[in-house]
Amino acid sequence: MEWLDALGHLRREGSAGVLITVINVRGHAPRDAGAKMVVGSEHSWGSVGGGNLEEAAIRRARALIAGGHTEPETQVARLNEHARNEHGRQCCGGEVTLLLEPMPARPTVAIFGMGHVGYELARVLSRLEVRLELVDSREDQLDPLRLASITDGAADVGVHHLLLGEQLLERLPRGAHVLIMSHDHAEDFALCDAALRLPALGSIGLIGSSSKWSGFRRRLTEAGHTARHIDRIRCPIGLPDISGKQPAVIAVSVAAALLHTFQQSSESPSITESASGSTGEPSRPAVTPSGATT
């Protein structure tokens, strides 16, 4: 797989990576300026020269990924027998400067239900560098002409006509954020039940009133979910200080709360571990939701 295809592969699976480029060569070196490779947390594609030069770059790239760094940096490697190298000698005699450019994972947001609110929310989020997965059991809600203003934005957009949205839930990348706002309360409940059985998901939001949520809590408890896990779901959703029932108002409120969650996730790498239960409490967005209802 070439480096450009590798970047696309990482983006599609919601993983971070680092693009490494040879930007300057003095003397003899294994690769010329312009050579590139891509490093992910587990795999790498392409080559900038092998040996200590490449191994040191890969290790630094994975440290950048693990630390959530976003700023590019340079790395200089001296390829002579006198250079102190951790991973063996390279005696080409030259000097190579590498540029390491972190490519952060785009947050994934799955919207289940493309009715009035879901459509307005997708329009707002489509202007951001995110991965949007749009799901509805009604084919007309996913008409390409209707979604043209969404698919033309900065976001990567996937459109899914599915009678059972749970099929997509199981394929979402780790840490994906889920918003449940279908046209059918039975469909909403099935999605909530399925989402709670997937601990690797990020935040889970359900559109609805306090009354709707009270009934859902009781039914989720009867389905075998503990109170601690049920608390992963936020209902109602949005910012508490923004009131109004117009779809666009609700969408802006929910999008703002989601941006806050993105920020917290980038500052706290352990959030998805918490969601899996490995550190005790499940992941919960810090924003207290408002009265967005359906």
pLDDT in tens, the chain (294 residues): 889 999 989 988 888 999 999 999 988 888 899 999 999 999 999 999 888 889 999 999 999 999 989 999 999 988 755 545 554 455 556 889 999 999 998 899 999 999 999 999 999 999 999 999 999 999 999 999 999 999 999 999 999 999 888 989 989 988 999 999 999 999 999 999 999 999 999 999 999 988 999 999 999 999 999 999 999 999 999 998 888 889 999 999 999 999 998 887 765 443 333 333 333 333 333 333 344 544
Tokens found for residue 136: 């509805």
Of 59, 79, 103, the residue at which a domain comes to its end is: 103
| Residue 59, both tokens | 């290790």
Report yes or no on 280 lying in a domain: no
The alpha carbon dihedral of 118, 120, 126, 129 has a sign of negative
For the chain, how many structural domains are there in total? Answer: 2
Amino acid in position 248: A
Report yes or no on 291 lying in a domain: no
Please report whether residue 284 resides in a domain. Answer: no
Q: Are residues 237 and 98 in the same domain?
A: no
Token pair, residue 6, equals 């590798």
CA distance 53 to 96: 8
Q: Are 195 and 172 in contact (CB under 8 A)?
A: no
> Do 136 and 239 fall within a single domain?
yes
Closest CA to 278 of 216, 200, 203: 200
Domain that holds residue 46: 3-103
Instruction: Spell out the residues 6+ positions from residue 37 whose beta carbon is closer than 8 angstroms to its own.
Output: 3, 19, 20, 44, 45, 46, 47, 48, 54, 57
Evaluate whether residue 286 is within a structural domain: no
State whether 57 and 32 are in the same domain.
yes
Give yes or no: residues 67 and 121 share one domain.
Answer: no
What is the pTM for the complete model shown?
A: 0.77
Q: Can you tell me the distance from the alpha carbon of 64 to that of 57, in angstroms, rounded to the nearest whole number? A: 11
Of 70, 103, 136, the domain-final residue: 103
